[in-house]
């Protein structure tokens, strides 16, 4: 029987995947389209992207359901397909592994608005939307639920509670931090720092604390976040930094860190205790392939087989 994700990563670190949005755009997705609906209308294109990540070495693949809540899908006229889109997202991610064992992380992203009194959505509306999405992801067979790119603890909690009610085997809370102008610190858009976030997630039942995306959140900042998380929490840590900073080139957004540049940051993350390492905005299967090389070197150095068993006569 396959180990639970948060148990498996205590034996050895696992490799995550990379960006989905930029890959969808390269596959023909337009800004006004609903990428999540492609799980139903163009599943082969989504599968091609995720299979490339699996072939590059990803052991954890996040479903194409970032905007898969009823509230978010309603903006594209897809609300009635909420359950089908999320279940299909899990199925496609599972197919990407082919016969290999891997973990499918059911993705719950921000609902795309603000809660009252700052916005127009009530807590009950958001809770209902997240519960519907989480239930579909769990019913579809997701190994874990990741509530990601969160900036406010209130919304994060609604997502985590929805995952708990759905019976998720593993719950990951992932925050999006922005680096301050002077580069000395980073917080979420709503002013939440990593220590506060980690304590909050552990207190409310998360199995893994994580970070992804955010302005300026590159490999060195991700390393800082791992250390700050671990200074206050005993939970495993997942990191998905961006591929550097975005630049506009010929009317297209290009991220400025190459696979080789990002690869140099993998070993320090693993040495600091990161349990899952992947990448976010601007990353590609080539970035993940480079990560795989660095992670394999780390495992070799530690005397750990790719499957997690220590090599004979080698200490952990």
Radius of gyration of the chain (CA): 18
Residue 132 lies in a domain: yes
Whether the link from the prior residue into 114 is cis, omega within 30° of 0, is no
Alpha-carbon torsion, ordered 78, 109, 55, 287, to 10 deg: 130
Residue 65 lies in a domain: yes
Q: For residue 56, what are the domain limits?
A: 5-302
Q: What is the pLDDT of residue 78?
A: 97
Residue 313 lies in a domain: no
Q: What is the pLDDT of residue 40?
A: 98
Which residues in the chain land under pLDDT 50? 308-316
Here the CATH number for the domain that contains residue 192 is 3.20.20.330
User: In sequence order, what E strands does 30-133 have?
Assistant: 60-62, 103-108
CA distances from 181 to 185, 192, 245 (A): 9, 16, 14
Strand 237-240 and strand 60-62: the pairing is unpaired
Q: What is the pLDDT of residue 29?
A: 80
Count Cβ atoms below 10 Å from residue 268 Cβ, excluding itself: 15
Residue 12 to residue 310: CA distance in whole angstroms: 10
Q: Residue 307, exposed/middle/buried by CB under 10 A (0-12, 13-18, 19+)?
A: exposed
Residue 277 to residue 291: CA distance in whole angstroms: 8
Q: What is the pLDDT of residue 307?
A: 57
Residue 238 lies in a domain: yes
Residue 104 lies in a domain: yes
Residue 9 lies in a domain: yes
Residue 254 lies in a domain: yes
Report the domain count for the chain.
1
Residue 284 lies in a domain: yes
Sign of the Cα pseudo-torsion (191, 244, 11, 107, in order) = positive
């Amino acid at each position: 029987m396959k180990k639970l994700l948060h148990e498996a990563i205590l034996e050895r670190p696992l490799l995550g995947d990379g960006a989905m949005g930029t890959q969808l755009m390269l596959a023909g997705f337009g800004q006004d389209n609903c990428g999540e609906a492609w799980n139903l209308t163009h599943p082969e294109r989504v599968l091609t992207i995720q299979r490339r990540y699996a072939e590059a070495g990803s052991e954890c693949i996040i479903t194409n359901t970032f905007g898969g809540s009823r509230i978010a899908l309603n903006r594209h006229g897809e609300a009635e397909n909420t359950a089908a889109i999320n279940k299909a997202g899990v199925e496609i991610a599972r197919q990407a592994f082919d016969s290999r064992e891997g973990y499918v992380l059911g993705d719950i992203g921000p609902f795309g608005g603000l809660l009252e009194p700052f916005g127009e959505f009530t807590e009950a509306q958001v809770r209902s939307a997240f519960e519907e999405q989480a239930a579909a992801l769990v019913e579809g067979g997701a190994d874990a639920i990741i509530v990601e790119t969160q900036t406010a603890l209130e919304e994060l909690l609604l997502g985590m509670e929805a995952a708990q009610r759905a019976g998720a085997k593993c719950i990951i809370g992932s925050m999006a931090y922005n680096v301050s102008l002077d580069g000395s610190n980073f917080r979420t858009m709503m002013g939440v720092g990593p220590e506060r976030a980690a304590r909050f997630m552990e207190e409310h039942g998360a199995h893994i604390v994580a970070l992804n995306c955010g302005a300026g959140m590159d490999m060195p900042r991700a390393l800082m976040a791992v250390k700050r998380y671990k200074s206050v929490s005993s939970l495993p840590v997942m990191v998905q930094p961006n591929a550097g900073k975005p630049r506009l080139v010929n009317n297209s957004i290009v991220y400025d860190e190459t696979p080789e540049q990002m690869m140099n940051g993998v070993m320090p993350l693993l040495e600091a205790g990161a349990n899952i390492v992947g990448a976010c905005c601007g990353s590609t299967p080539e970035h993940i392939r480079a990560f795989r090389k660095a992670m394999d070197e780390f495992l070799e150095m530690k005397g750990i087989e790719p499957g997690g068993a220590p090599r004979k006569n080698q200490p952990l």
